[in-house]
Chain A
Amino acid sequence: MTATAGRLRVEQIMGTAIGIDVRDTAVPEGAIDEAFASLRSADARFSTYKPESEVSRLGRGELNLDECSLELRRVLALAEQLREETRGHFDVHGHRADGGLDPSGVVKGWAVEEAAWILDAAGARNYAINAGGDVLVRGEPEPGVAWRIGIRHPLHADAIARVLELRDGAVATSGAYERGEHITNPLTGAAPQDWLSITVVGPSLTLADAYATAAFAMGSAGLAWVAAHPGYRAYGITPGDVRWIET
């Protein structure tokens, strides 16, 4: 065992497993409790699977927008901003088959960043959060070493396509995988065929996640579109010959 084994805790929230791995020994356990509480709170407010959630009530017309919480209005404003920025390729109304309101493409990254701020405020400087494959890292797992993030091979669950090294940033991956075609282009309704998966690396997990979804929907032009954003890089894996493409 190494001295910096860290504290990894995993809870099932937002329909996925979220792991928080804090390497700073001085950070109290209560801060990690608080970070998980923040994630559960976001899930209760924004889940489309919970009929009593604020998002579900807004979707059914039981609430007007001006009756919604500041948090929900912020998330929806962010979603609208992303829809404009991606020229409609990221649309919280458009990726679902039924066209219903589904802000989960924004919510997960946003909620993880909220949890990260709680850890920051508690003095954490070296930690990682993995929310079902969306990754946010700060500092180093041990002195002098970057976090090593394996990018899942799109054709099989246990294969690693590439390893990225990162300090202070976020990694998000969008893909079709075995379920197939779960991302559609909101403008055409078609399932893009250009990529098996797209991985975006950048400062913000919310934006990396949205950019990965939008770039996947955009098709062949997606990687260059991501790379036009300062601080963001994109990686794509092609179908057929299964090649790794970098911007």
Chain B
Amino acid sequence: MPKRGAISAFLTAIAVVLLINFKTPSQQGLAAFSRQTLTGSQSTSGSAVASGSPGPSASLPGATTQPSATTAPATTASKTFTGPAIPYYFGTAQVQVTMVNGKITAVTALQLPNEGRSAWISQQVEPILRSEVLATQSAQIDLISGATYTSEAYAQSLQGALDQAHA
């Protein structure tokens, strides 16, 4: 069972996830997230359409995509914004965002958990995660559905970095 103290650290982070709006004026990005693929989306009660879903079984974008666009053009000033270090149940998460001309070009984890299963996840998945942050910035998301009892510390630190970037 989750510990109350540990869970309480997650709660604010979950609230932050509610507030995250992966919005950008740019329409470039993965076709999987493009609105043009959504023709025929239904409005009947309880229906839903998976964006750009090619079939009943498909690899998730991040499962195969490698991170990209980590280098800023030499002629353009790039700025980095460091999010707060967010302690949570499994360790500490801290994220740095690099922006060029108002667009995120890189997301770097300065700190992620380094013990046990979380460390394994960090090592294996962090590159995927980074690429998905870069990919999803072209798609506006109103809400996020996910199982509860999860750590959102990464997202909270990311949001802190984005807040600084947009300030």
Given contacts A133-B147, A158-B129, A159-B133, whether A148 and B121 have CB atoms under 8 Å apart is no
- Does B38 touch A at the CB level, under 8 Å? yes
Contact A169 B154 (CB under 8 A): no
A147 contacts the other chain (CB 8 A): yes
A183, chain B: closest CB distance, angstroms: 9
Q: Is the CB of A17 within 8 A of B63?
A: no
B12-32 interface (Cβ within 8 A of A): 12, 14-15, 17-19, 22
Question: Chain A: interface residue count, which band?
Answer: 35 or more
Instruction: Please tell me if the beta carbons of B136 and A174 are within 8 angstroms of each other in the complex.
Output: no
Q: For residue B155, give the distance in angstroms from its CB to the closest CB of chain A.
A: 4
Interface of A is mostly: strand
| Contact, CB under 8 Å: B48 / A171 | yes
- Measuring CB to CB, which residues of chain B are less than 8 angstroms from any residue of chain A? 1-2, 4, 7, 11-12, 14-15, 17-19, 22, 33, 38, 41, 43, 45-51, 53, 56-60, 62-63, 90, 117-118, 121, 124-126, 128-129, 132-133, 136, 139-155, 158
Chain A interfacial positions (CB closer than 8 Å to B): 8, 10, 12, 15-17, 19, 21, 49, 96-97, 128, 130, 132-135, 137, 141, 146-180, 182, 197, 199, 201-203, 231-233, 235, 237, 241-246
Instruction: List 14 A–B pairs whose Cβ atoms lie within 8 Å, in order of A's numbering.
Output: A16-B11, A150-B145, A151-B145, A152-B147, A163-B33, A163-B139, A165-B51, A166-B47, A167-B43, A169-B47, A201-B48, A233-B46, A237-B60, A241-B59
